């Protein structure tokens, strides 16, 4: 049969990164390619205990349909969790989502029509690019340096759009330990960005999956907090600080936006599982979440130190990289004439994998960049893998 698909379905592309990663599934590979938390961290014992308790005392709730915006217990736990990290939100400013990818999906559909301009960082999160591309947004990239988004360039791009009477639907940013770059936006730029967006009446989408995973203890105020909860939609998830298997996230925004999101979510999946919400809610209120975050930080800190010191020792001086203060990723920039995809095929031959940087650029730039994950590989793997990768890169630099 000849199926007639929608326009949206033809705008979806196969993920190049998934294709590349499928080449890396061979024994003995050292992979900097994934975005996975270390499964050693998973508190299976606590989750088992809590699940038993939840099913025993609240089974009738846990296994039944729940409200679209989320279980009351879960929302209370989220408010407490946010407040532990210096953020404030009211009950009616929160909608629980089935992972933060759903948060991106809902935001994309709520604000994007065909050709609607949206602003995002170069590079930015792949899941966001996928969702916005699917909805046929006109994605406009703004460069970053190691202090975050280039606010001057942002202003120029927005002025261009305003001249054409096509203001952007929003500015999408990941200010804390960004995926893919590991870069954190400085406090000054946060203030500038919020001020600028408020003056122009432009919404900010703040995606913040890594904020709590700070290696130094320093956590900068979120854009949500700086803005006083106006004009910012904050996307959160437990996939990175706890584990991804529960697919649990939440959106924080002004009630006007949350109400629209709830209506949209009704047609998308009715509600996020009450089962997993009640488990996580208990996990948070017992203090287990804080504990798990601490453990993750303890586990990842020596890994990033190892990666940074091995890079320092082994990489040729033409190569630069970010110095992440938290999160799971480091960004590596090769000299402009070197193609990170060519390097990838060579590295794979020597059993080292990573992710090329170009797919993270909405404008197709970034051929000479790559993302290195340090949360999943072992310390020994990092040590050995960076040495090998440095050798491979050196060969490319000498050749050209």
Residues between 54 and 73 that touch a second copy (CB under 8 A): 55-56, 59-66
For a second copy, which residue of 119, 151, 169, 293 counts as binding (CB under 8 A)? Answer: 169
Q: Does 209 bind a second copy (CB under 8 A)?
A: no
Specify burial of residue 45 (Cβ count, 10 A radius: 0-12, 13-18, 19+). Answer: exposed
Query: Cα-flanking dihedrals φ and ψ of residue 136, to 5°?
Result: 60, 35
Burial group, residue 65, by CB count within 10 angstroms (0-12, 13-18, 19+): exposed
Q: By CB under 8 A, tell whether 21 contacts a second copy.
A: no
Beta strands in 29-137 (DSSP E): 30-31, 94-97, 117-122
Tell me whether residue 112 or residue 140 sits nearer to a second copy (CB atom): 112
Shortest Å distance, C-beta 312 to a second copy = 31
Which of 14, 163, 165, 399 binds a second copy (CB under 8 A)? It is 14
Q: Which of residues 255-274 bind a second copy (CB under 8 A)?
A: 256-257, 260, 263-264, 266-274
Which one, 159 or 342, has the nearer CB to a second copy? Answer: 159
Q: How far, in Å, CA of 72 to CA of 320, rounded? A: 47
Closer residue to a second copy in complex, CB, 23/263: 263
- Number of residues interacting with a second copy: please give it, by CB under 8 A: 77
Which range binds a second copy by CB under 8 A, 179-187, 198-206, 339-347, 382-390? Answer: 198-206
- Based on the shown chain and the rule CB under 8 A, indicate whether residue 5 belongs to the binding site for a second copy: yes
**Angle of the 100-111 helix axis to the 255-269 helix axis, nearest 10:** 110
Among 246, 332, 347, 393, contact with a second copy (rule: CB under 8 A): 246
Residue 235 CA from chain centroid, whole number: 9
Which of 329/396 has CB closer to a second copy?
329
The answer to whether the beta carbons of residues 248 and 238 sit under 8 Å apart is yes
**By CB under 8 A, is residue 116 in contact with a second copy?**
yes
The span from the CA of 287 to the CA of 356, in Å, is 38
Q: Write down the least CB distance from residue 222 to a second copy, Å.
A: 17
**Residues 268/112, Cβ–Cβ less than 8 Å:** no
Least distance in angstroms from the C-beta of 387 to a second copy:
28
Residue 124 tokens, joined: 């930015």
Rounded distance between C-alpha atoms, residue 327 and residue 52, angstroms: 32
- The 8-class DSSP code of residue 221 comes to P
Q: What is d(CA 184, CA 325) in angstroms, rounded to the nearest whole number?
A: 8
Q: Which is nearer to a second copy, 315 or 371 (CB)?
A: 371
Among 230, 255, 294, 323, binds a second copy (CB under 8 A): 230
- Give, in degrees to the nearest 5, the angle at Cα 366 between 373 and 12: 85
Question: Closer to a second copy at the Cβ: 261 or 332?
Answer: 261
**Cβ of residue 145: shortest distance to a second copy, in angstroms?**
28
Phi, psi of 335 (to 5 degrees): -55, 150
- Told to check if 191 binds a second copy by CB under 8 A, we report no
Say how many CA atoms lie within 13 Å of 162 toward its Cβ.
11
Residue 23 found at the interface with a second copy (CB under 8 A): no
| C-alpha span between 252 and 233 (Å, rounded) | 6
In 202-272, at which residue ranges do the beta strands (DSSP E only) sit?
203-207, 232-237, 249-252
As measured in angstroms, the least distance from the Cβ of 392 to a second copy is: 28
Interface positions, 78-107, toward a second copy (CB under 8 A): 98-99, 101-102, 105
Q: Where do the H-state alpha helices sit in 242-378?
A: 255-269, 274-285, 288-314, 340-349
Of 51, 138, 305, 365, which lies in the binding site for a second copy, with binding defined by CB under 8 A? 51
Question: Of 281, 286, 244, which Cα lies nearest the Cα of 375?
Answer: 244
39 scored as a contact of a second copy (CB under 8 A): yes
Q: How far is the CB of 92 from a second copy (least distance, A)?
A: 16
Nearer to a second copy, 64 or 309 (CB): 64
The encoded tokens of residue 285 equal 């209120």
240 part of the interface to a second copy, by CB under 8 A: no
Using CB under 8 A, which of the segments 50-58, 74-82, 83-91, 172-180 binds a second copy?
Answer: 50-58
Residue linked to tokens 């697919």: 247
Among 32, 210, 275, 321, binds a second copy (CB under 8 A): 275
Q: Which residues in the 120-159 window bind a second copy by CB under 8 A?
A: 127, 130-131, 134-135
């Amino acid at each position: 049969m000849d199926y007639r698909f929608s326009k949206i379905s033809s705008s979806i592309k196969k993920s190049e990164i998934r294709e590349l990663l499928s080449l890396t599934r061979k024994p003995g590979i050292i992979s900097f390619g994934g975005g996975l938390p270390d499964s050693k961290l998973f508190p299976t014992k606590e989750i088992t205990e809590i699940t038993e308790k939840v099913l025993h005392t609240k089974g009738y709730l846990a296994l039944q349909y729940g409200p679209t915006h989320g279980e009351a217990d879960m929302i209370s736990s989220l408010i407490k969790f946010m407040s532990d990290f210096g953020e404030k939100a009211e009950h009616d400013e929160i909608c629980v989502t089935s992972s933060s990818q759903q948060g991106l999906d809902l935001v994309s559909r709520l604000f994007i029509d065909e050709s609607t301009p949206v602003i995002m960082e170069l590079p930015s999160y792949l899941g966001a690019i996928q969702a916005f591309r699917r909805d046929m947004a006109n994605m406009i990239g703004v460069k970053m340096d190691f202090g975050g988004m280039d606010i001057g360039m942002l202003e120029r791009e927005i002025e261009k759009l305003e001249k054409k009477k096509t203001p952007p639907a929003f500015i999408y940013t990941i200010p804390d330990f960004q995926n893919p770059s590991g870069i954190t936006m400085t406090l000054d730029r946060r203030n500038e960005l919020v001020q600028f967006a408020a003056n122009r009446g432009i919404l900010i989408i703040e995606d913040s999956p890594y904020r709590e995973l700070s290696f130094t203890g320093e956590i900068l105020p979120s854009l949500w907090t700086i803005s006083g909860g106006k004009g910012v939609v904050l996307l959160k998830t437990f996939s990175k600080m706890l584990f991804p298997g529960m697919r649990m996230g939440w959106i924080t925004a002004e009630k006007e936006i949350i109400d629209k999101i709830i209506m949209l979510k009704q047609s998308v999946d009715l509600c996020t599982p009450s089962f997993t919400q009640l488990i996580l809610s208990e996990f948070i209120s017992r203090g287990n979440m804080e504990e798990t975050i601490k453990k993750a930080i303890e586990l990842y800190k020596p890994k990033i130190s190892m990666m940074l010191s091995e890079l320092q020792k082994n990489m040729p001086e033409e190569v630069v990289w970010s110095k992440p203060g938290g999160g799971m990723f480091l960004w590596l920039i090769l000299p402009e004439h070197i193609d990170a995809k060519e390097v990838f095929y060579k590295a794979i031959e020597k059993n080292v994998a990573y992710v090329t940087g170009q797919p993270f650029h909405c404008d197709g730039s970034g051929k000479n960049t790559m993302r290195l994950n340090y949360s999943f590989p072992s310390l020994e793997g990092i040590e050995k893998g960076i040495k090998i990768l440095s050798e491979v890169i050196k060969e490319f630099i000498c050749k050209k």
